[in-house]
Structure 1
Amino acid sequence: MQCWACSELATRLNEERVLKMAMTIPLNINIKEPRWDQSTFVGRAKHFFTVTDPRNILLPNEQLEHARQIVHNYRQGVVDPGLTEDELWRAKYVYDSAFHPDTGEKMILIGRMSAQVPMNMTITGCMMTFYRTTPAVVFWQWINQSFNAIVNYTNRSGDAPITISQLGTAYVSATTGAVATALGLNALTKHVSPLIGRFVPFVAVAAANCINIPLMRQRELKYGIPVTDENGNRLGESASAARQAIAQVVISRILMAAPGMAIPPFIMNTLEKKAFLKRFPWMSAPIQVGLVGFCLVFATPLCCALFPQKSSMSVTRLEPELQAKLRETSLGCERVYFNKGL
């Protein structure tokens, strides 16, 4: 009787082992690319809703390292026992949320895309609440550009380092440009409708983005960013690709800020005339921050999705010397691909 029970147990364990082996996911899932089709806006939007999920910044280091190990093992052809395809994709997105796609380094926490909504909603909400006095304008524009400098550095394209001198130049230039724009516009709008004055922070932010991002990534403009063929084989570095990447990022960032800085002013202008905010004026900042946050939850991933993360351009638009090199070494290559940054 005991032998029969042992035999039955051994049979059951063997069946479970076979079942687990049968459930092992295939090794041909391309986790170098996003889960959804990036040739469509909807596919890119699904991808970035996952990438910008604010919950990712709450993940402990142990979970980040576990996700990194799963991704690393899978790329080496090793699948953790019992790992499902959904778990693999979850690990891939947890990994992507914390580690730079080109260098593999763990990114600064507040510079990660998953920190964009909570950080921007706080900073932008305060910028739009405290915009009437010079000290407040200077302080919040400085805070905003300090945060932008961290984000731009953290999400730079390629693996080229940026020097302390270049970092300082970009930071000082963008901060000065944003403050000067905000103060100048504030002076011009003193005699117009208060509603118009509420849009001053947005214009200042847009102007600063046009300064900050190119300066923060000036090394890429000078030396180029890595370009590859469609299979990921590195072909060289291109400054032309860097210019296209940076232009796309500037457009995305400005449009990303637009809903949160354009819609709340109309709502707040109405609410501040109501009895509630006249009685509790201290509620103005929390309400404004909440409105900005609601807009950013949708604007951040949707504007990131405007252009493919793996951007491309025709070989004919590259530098002449790189074109000549590709004609000799990569016959038939018509387009090159590159990480545009965020």
Structure 2
Amino acid sequence: MRWAAANQRGAVAPGGGARRRGRRLFKVALLRRAKGMAAPADYPPFQLGKPRFQQTSFYGRFRHFLDIIDPRTLFVTESRLKEAVQLLEDYKHGTLPPGVTNKELWEAQKIKQAIIHPDTNETIFMPFRMSGYIPFGTPIVVGLLLPNQTLASTVFWQWLNQSHNACVNYANRNATKPSPTSKFIQGYLGAVISAVSIAVGLNVLVQRANKFTPATRLLIQRFVPFPAVASANICNVVLMRHTELEEGIDVLDNNGNIVGSSRIAAKHALLETALTRVVLPMPILVLPPIIMSILEKTSLLRSRPRMILPVQSLVCLAAFGLALPLAISLFPQMSEIETSRLEPEIAMATTSKTVVYNKGFSSLGSLMPRVHHWLSMVAAIGGETTSKDQNTTLNSSYSIRTKSMELGKR
């Protein structure tokens, strides 16, 4: 009788309440998503100077780099920047006003890190910020991939690419441990010369290859920028870091203590960095030519050749925007090596079977510059990274000392 009365009042059978609650929660989640509100799990308790996402997984690194290159921070006003900086200062001194959420703190840190240099506290010029790398770098990628380039245009776009990267490198340099200006110039000139030489040389070889049809020759020329940029990356690594092969780099035990400087570890770090700098530009410089070679065969572009350049620009933008964070997220910053493979004095100085070393920033080399404040946020194993004074504590068992984090030596 009770159930009958309940049903007459519009109630439901047992289990209906749970279903209604589930539907309500689902609707709430949809509303929150529609309003751009992230779930609480997306905003963990705030930690000053540390990444919002764990760096132990590919997904965590991917989300982290999406924040780093978010172009929306380019439109932050001066007043909003001041508010973000002041909010972080209030947090640092324990004077936060009531009601401030973790989301507000994380957003404030994202804004400050995107605009303000971590060492000099000066505003980084917009085209040279990491959040501006895709918007300002895409036209250069489009230029690099233009078909039927002349000798002059090939030289120009390769030079412009390396010059843009050099400016980004310098704007985001490690100002606490500055490298000599001569080293920047040496790396820049080496990258420009190698990129231009390879690009021009390959174009000449392709044009003189009589075995290729004009269509095949044009298709091959589309891929010339990749080996040119890859060679520039390798040249840049060697010129900027060749002294490490003689001096060695620091290796750390399980407790984060510096065991010593290893030349063998330096060799591994250099090889790993060179390899990743060859692999990572691939999706940005290889995917667009493949996609465009397919799209240009469609009736739409055949009948409207003027649309080829706009379509290619959109393809490059999509490849740049999607492939870049995916590619950067593939490789963790710290590498591990068995002590038995290192110098005898290193193996005898620790009881750990393995040690770790910072392989240096390897995310795209000439195409994706080495950036100090990226390193300070990413060069960790457990998501815990360096603070302003470079005293780093890792979520895992590692604690990375200041010396291992000096980008100037890397």
TM-score over 0.5 for the pair: yes
The within-5 A match list for 1:41-120 is: 41-100=58-117, 106-120=123-137
> Match for 1:167 among 184, 188, 210?
184
- 1:300-336 Cα shifts (integer Å, max 9, x gaps): 1111112234x25469488888899x86xxx989755
- 1:268-305 Cα shifts (integer Å, max 9, x gaps): 22444456545554433322121011011111111111
Aligned length: 311
| 1:297 correspondence with 2:321 | yes
Letter of the aligned partner of 1:266 in structure 2?
Answer: I
In the other structure, the counterpart of 2:48 is 31
Range with greater deviation from structure 2 (172-181 or 185-194): 185-194
State how far apart, in whole Å, the 1-side matches of 2:146 and 2:62 are.
Answer: 30
In the other structure, the counterpart of 1:307 is 331
Structure 1 pair 243–59 and aligned structure 2 pair: CA distance change class (3 A): farther
The within-5 A match list for 1:128-277 is: 128-130=145-147, 132-156=149-173, 159-190=176-207, 191=209, 192=212, 193=216, 194-216=218-240, 250-274=274-298, 276-277=300-301
Structure 1 pair 226–68 and aligned structure 2 pair: CA distance change class (3 A): farther
Range with greater deviation from structure 2 (170-179 or 215-224): 215-224
- Once the two structures are TM-superposed, the CA of residue 99 in structure 1 deviates from its matched residue by 3.8
What SS does the aligned partner of 2:145 have? helix
Between Structure 1 and Structure 2, the one with more helix by share is 1
* Runs of 5+ consecutive residues of structure 1 not aligned to the other structure: 1-26
Q: Percent identity?
A: 39
Q: Is residue 198–residue 231 contact of structure 2 (8 Å, CA) maintained in 1?
A: yes
State how far apart, in whole Å, the 2-side matches of 1:111 and 1:69 are.
Answer: 24
State how far apart, in whole Å, the 1-side matches of 2:252 and 2:85 are.
Answer: 24
What SS does the aligned partner of 2:99 have? coil
- Once the two structures are TM-superposed, the CA of residue 130 in structure 1 deviates from its matched residue by 4.9
* Runs of 5+ consecutive residues of structure 2 not aligned to the other structure: 1-43, 362-369, 371-410
Q: Is residue 251–residue 262 contact of structure 2 (8 Å, CA) maintained in 1?
A: yes
Q: Is residue 116–residue 300 contact of structure 1 (8 Å, CA) maintained in 2?
A: no
Letter of the aligned partner of 1:197 in structure 2?
Answer: Q
Q: Is residue 238–residue 318 contact of structure 1 (8 Å, CA) maintained in 2?
A: yes
Structure 1 pair 252–314 and aligned structure 2 pair: CA distance change class (3 A): closer
Structure 1 pair 124–336 and aligned structure 2 pair: CA distance change class (3 A): same
Q: CA RMSD in A?
A: 3.9
State how far apart, in whole Å, the 1-side matches of 2:170 and 2:244 are.
Answer: 12
What SS does the aligned partner of 1:129 have? coil
